[in-house]
Amino acid sequence: MHFKRKLLAKACILLTLTLMLALPATAAEKVLMMATTTSTDNTGLLDYLKPHFEKATGIELKWTAVGTGKALALGKNCDVDVLLVHAPAAEKKYVEEGFGVDRREIMYNDFVIIGPESDPAGIKGKNVVDALDAIRAKGAVFASRGDNSGTHKKELALWKSAGGVVPEKESWYVQTGQGMLATINIAAERNGYTMTDRGTYIKYADTLKGNPPLKVLVEGDAILLNQYSVIAVNPKRCPEAKYDLATTFSNWMAGAEGQKLIADFKLLGKPLFTANAK
């Protein structure tokens, strides 16, 4: 009995030690560090692109997936080499201020407004402005990211075009401060509406076996386009940033191989992104 216990303990120690020593070998010396948004990571797009990119260029791609606000801040602090983000207005300002260079449009998906099938505010099929007006008039629950991400910025812009004021302090306006899927789940729990990028929505519908409680109610409006761009961190401000690797990445994403792979990336048979590099 005592012997057995000793053996078990020894096995545990041994296993712990083995785990600590089993370091994953990082062979590639060329490493590109990217800050990107939760949407590109959560949909699995980057996991899908990474091996192709490494094979084509020999550069190891590493990324940290955060909101666009934080991604831009990481670039500002020279902590990453390249950005893949989607907040055109903020991006242009960022480049003007000299933090980033070579902004290049790569692909887009679109935003949709989703809500419960019962549709308490009756927004189905309306355009964005009318739909948001109806939600505001009804005081129906609306979940907002509230995290300064690209999606959040887009949503704020939409509220401004629909009546001018963001319903910041209204009790029905729920600011989650979390990622897109977490926000969709909160909207679903509260039987409310939210705005999401289509890619995350398809992924969400996929995890719920194609029968999600929230359905797409408003889509196809031109102002719902969601443009993604690659921006290299300005090498003049950040001498340690790997500008050459960032350029290789940008060229590959905008080139034939990257664009085809993006267009071929499907979930539930639906393409998630439309490649549109010029």
Partner 1 sequence: MDFILAGFFEAIRLLLGGDAQTWSAVAATLKASTGSMAVSLVLGIPLGFVLGYVDFPGRRQTRLLVDTALALPTVFIGLVVYAFISNRGPLGGLGLLFTLRGIVVGQTILALPVVIALSAAAVENMDRHLRTLLITLGASRRQLLFSSLWEVRFGLLAAGLAAYGRVMTEVGISMMVGGNIKWHTRTITTAIALETGKGMFATGIALGLVLIAIAFMVNVSLSFLRKR
Chain residues binding partner 1 by CB under 8 A are 5-6, 8-10, 12-13, 15-16, 19-20, 22-24, 26, 33, 38, 41-42, 47, 62-65, 76-79, 178-179, 181-182, 184-185, 203-204, 207, 238, 240
Toward partner 1, which CB reaches closer, 76 or 126? 76
Toward partner 1, which CB reaches closer, 42 or 229? 42
Tell me, what DSSP letter sits at residue 23? P
Toward partner 1, which CB reaches closer, 4 or 169? 4
CA distances from residue 12 to 1, 22, 24 in whole angstroms, order as listed: 17, 15, 21
Toward partner 1, which CB reaches closer, 75 or 88? 75
Instruction: Classify 101 as helix, strand or coil.
Output: strand
- Distance (Å, whole) CA 150 – CA 194: 15
Instruction: Classify 34 as helix, strand or coil.
Output: strand
Toward partner 1, which CB reaches closer, 134 or 174? 174
Instruction: Evaluate whether 272 touches 109 at the Cβ level (below 8 Å).
Output: yes
Smallest gap from residue 232 Cβ to partner 1 (A):
15
Toward partner 1, which CB reaches closer, 260 or 266? 266
Smallest gap from residue 126 Cβ to partner 1 (A):
27
- Distance (Å, whole) CA 261 – CA 48: 9
Closest CA to 134 of 119, 144, 148, 146: 119
Instruction: Classify 247 as helix, strand or coil.
Output: helix
Toward partner 1, which CB reaches closer, 6 or 270? 6
Smallest gap from residue 170 Cβ to partner 1 (A):
26
Smallest gap from residue 222 Cβ to partner 1 (A):
29
Smallest gap from residue 183 Cβ to partner 1 (A):
9
Residues 6+ apart with CB under 8 A from 188: 116, 212, 213, 214
Smallest gap from residue 136 Cβ to partner 1 (A):
28
Helix intervals (H) in the chain = 2-21, 38-42, 45-57, 68-76, 88-96, 128-138, 150-161, 180-189, 198-207, 243-254, 256-264
Amino acid identity, position 150: G
Toward partner 1, which CB reaches closer, 164 or 210? 210
Residues forming beta bridges with residue 142, ordered by sequence position? 173, 193
Tell me, what DSSP letter sits at residue 276? -
Smallest gap from residue 38 Cβ to partner 1 (A):
7
